[in-house]
Chain A
Amino acid sequence: MKRFIGFIKKEFYHIFRDKRSLFILFGMPIAQILLFGFAITNEINNVDIAVLDHSKDATTKEIITKIADSKYFSIKQVIISEAEIKSIFEKGRVKAVLNFEKEFSSKLIKNKQATVQIITDATDPNTANTISNYVNAILQQYQKQLNKDASFVYQIVPETRMVYNSELKSVYMFVPGVMTIILMLVSAMMTSISISREKELGTMEILLVSPLKPFQVIIGKVFPYIFLSIINAVIIVLLSIFIFNMPVQGSLFLLALESILFIISALALGILISTIAATQQSAMMISLMGLMLPVILLSGFIFPISSMPLPLQLISNIIPAKWFIIIIKGIMLKGVGIEYLWKETFILFGMTLLFIAISIKKYKIRLE
């Protein structure tokens, strides 16, 4: 036991002596969470659009002013012919063009109907769709104003209530996601590389013939990183509470325990990677190339899992990050306790055990 503690001490010294790495380890997650928390949003604001007004009457002018006044759009260009649309799209100057038909106002009065085209650059389908919806909402608002005298009968007016995030802040979505990718990748990368480094430099063999048992060597190597990742997690949670006003509706203690569980599962994954990889470079490439995009895309961080095709929904189940994101959102935003999260917790726990079991098996093979 004394030897083991000595070994852990040595590993701690190793890490804390390397000031540059420490700076990177703590500085980067802080910079990232600040940057993303403030900058990234999937709302749509200030989208540049162009207007093609064949009518130029009071009504179209009023509508255009309404659109320009909304926070969603800024009118960047007024064009005079259909031919111009193609070229401004090709230059990428605007995302949408509003095309009002001739005699808009008089048609609206006489025929009770006038037409406007919302032409969007749908190479980005999400933005195109959202723009189209927002313009429609503004038009509908305007119509209501026009028809305020007409009586509407048999109308159901639904009351919509947005729960857990009534202001629809996108930071509630991004902070848990960024927290997850940071903890996941930092923990997995750190361990995978530190063990494969020993292998590459040949020092692993020496450690393995020392009186320490192989699992003690591994735990000794991983232990400092558990400690570092916990500090990282604490920093991230504090930043999200104090800077981004993320609520913690549920128990902070449970959040801490779940974070530790997730960190350990990521570290275990790191160990598993290091058993496969022979060099630091391949360990890095596996953890970076193999983990980064799947974690970003399949965890529900940005894209809703329920919209994915079924095979991908199934694959998403083996991404530990998916379960952790559900857990963080549950604790922080919904305020639920373990009674609602036991399934997710159990799955993370099972994955961790599995990673560890496979790693131990692989190391034994190497020693024979």
Chain B
Amino acid sequence: MKTILYIIQKEFKQIFRNKGMLPIIFILPLLQLVILSNAATFEVKNIKFGYIDKDHSPSSRALIEKFNASTYFNVLADYQSETVASSAMLNGEVNVILEIPTHFERDLQKEKSNHLGILINAIDGAAAGVQKVYALQIIQRFNQDVKMKLMQPADLQNQPASIKSIPLFWYNQTLNYKTYMVPGILVLLVTMITLFLSGMNIVREKEIGTLEQINVTPIKKSQFIIGKLFPFWVIGLGLLTVGLIIAKLIFNVPMVGSLLLMYLYTSIYILVILGIGLFISNYTETQQQAMFISWFFTVIFILMSGLFTPIESMPKWAQFMTEFNPIKYFVEVMRMVMLKGSGFMDIVPQLSKTLLYALVMNGLAVWSYKKTN
């Protein structure tokens, strides 16, 4: 026990002595949490909008005014021709173009069919879908106005049946992305820091040659590993704590559930990450290799965690792979406990899988450590 304590003390000293690393470990992640959480929004607004008005009638102007008045569209330009408009879209100046044909007003009053063109830059398919919905909504409202103006009293009897749908957004009524993204990004940062630090650390001793020296001392391997990893575990939990404080104070993220449960889960979760880091260390020869492998897995873990894109939409084999993604469980637990107030029993599936993962990973890591040395 005493030996472990000495090693831990030594490791802490080493970390705190390296002045260059301190800001990277403690300040950079928190700075990113504060700044980047604002970037992660799928909300579609300020859509760059332009139009070609070939009618120049009160009706066409009224329709454009409707777009102008909406909060989604930024009416930027009035194009003289299709050529100018499509060139502007190629240039990236505009993403949605409304094309109002000649005789728009006349046709509208004559009740003839009336085609209005909407051109949408669909490279970002998801955003294009939303932009289309917004544009159609505005046109529908315009329709409604016209209808009301021109409708005869008799028509009122003949109203079509309608289904009224009431959307209710539980746990986040205003659809505030930060409520969701701040905890998610905090998870990513805690994971990255603990994985990179632990993954590089032991391989560094290997590369410099000091690992050999430790192996000939009376220190047991298990003592050495625990002593090495413990400081990173503490750093991870410390980062979580500061991150949660920032989430509360700056972003006012609701914390409905039990913080104790959050910490219980996180303390097991970090063990998984440290196990992975140690495992990577064992199978690499240089810090460079360790870094590449850590990077490889981190990118996969992040993009397949369900934080940025939904897991349900992935093909079955990919969904199966996410079962081995620790970040996925952490994101789920954060969302459940912090935002919904789920209790211990609700997160038993995630908790038990994470615990099992921790045991397997660390078991493998210790086993391969003995084998490779």
Task: Known contacts A334-B90, A340-B91; decide if A40 and B312 are in contact (CB<8 Å).
Answer: no
Q: Are B119 and A163 in contact (CB under 8 A)?
A: yes
Q: Does A240 contact B (CB under 8 A)?
A: no
Q: Are B163 and A139 in contact (CB under 8 A)?
A: yes
State how many angstroms separate the Cβ of A30 from the closest Cβ of chain B: 11
Q: Which of B42, B161, B200 contacts A112 (CB 8 A)?
A: B161
A169-206 interface with B by 8 A CB criterion: 169-170, 172-173, 181, 185, 189-190, 193-194, 197
Q: Does B340 contact A (CB under 8 A)?
A: yes
Q: Does A210 contact B (CB under 8 A)?
A: no
Q: Does A221 contact B (CB under 8 A)?
A: no
Q: Are A147 and B160 in contact (CB under 8 A)?
A: yes
Closest Cβ neighbor of A90 among chain B residues? B342
Residues of A within 8 A of B123 (CB): 164-165, 172-173, 329, 333-334
Q: Does B179 contact A (CB under 8 A)?
A: yes
Q: Are A121 and B24 in contact (CB under 8 A)?
A: no
Q: Are A304 and B44 in contact (CB under 8 A)?
A: yes
B177-226 interface with A by 8 A CB criterion: 177, 179-180, 185, 188-189, 192-193, 196-197, 200, 204
Q: Which of A41, A128, A146 contacts B169 (CB 8 A)?
A: A128
Q: Does B295 contact A (CB under 8 A)?
A: yes
Q: Does B175 contact A (CB under 8 A)?
A: yes
Report B13-53 CB contacts with A as 1/0, cut-off 8 Å: 00000101100110011001001101111111111100000
Closest Cβ neighbor of B160 among chain A residues? A147
Q: Are B125 and A113 in contact (CB under 8 A)?
A: no
State how many angstroms separate the Cβ of B281 from the closest Cβ of chain A: 13
Q: How far is the CA of A89 from the CA of B124 in the complex (A)?
A: 30
Q: Are A116 and B169 in contact (CB under 8 A)?
A: no
Q: How far is the CA of A270 from the CA of B318 in the complex (A)?
A: 33
Q: Does A28 contact B (CB under 8 A)?
A: yes
Interface-located stretch among B136-144, B243-251, B269-277: B136-144
Q: Does A55 contact B (CB under 8 A)?
A: no
Q: How far is the CA of A315 from the CA of B39 in the complex (A)?
A: 10
Residues of B within 8 A of A109 (CB): 161
Q: Does A132 contact B (CB under 8 A)?
A: yes
Q: Are A156 and B125 in contact (CB under 8 A)?
A: no
Q: Are A122 and B175 in contact (CB under 8 A)?
A: yes
Residues of B within 8 A of A315 (CB): 35
A residues engaging B (CB < 8 A)? 18, 20-21, 24-25, 28, 31-32, 35-36, 38-48, 63, 89-92, 95, 108-109, 112-129, 132-133, 135-136, 139, 142-143, 146-147, 150, 152-170, 172-173, 181, 185, 189-190, 193-194, 197, 277-282, 284-286, 288-290, 292-294, 296-298, 302-304, 306-309, 312, 315-316, 326, 329-330, 333-334, 336, 340
Which 5 pairs across A and B sit closest by C-beta, in order of nearness? A168-B125, A39-B318, A122-B169, A162-B122, A122-B172
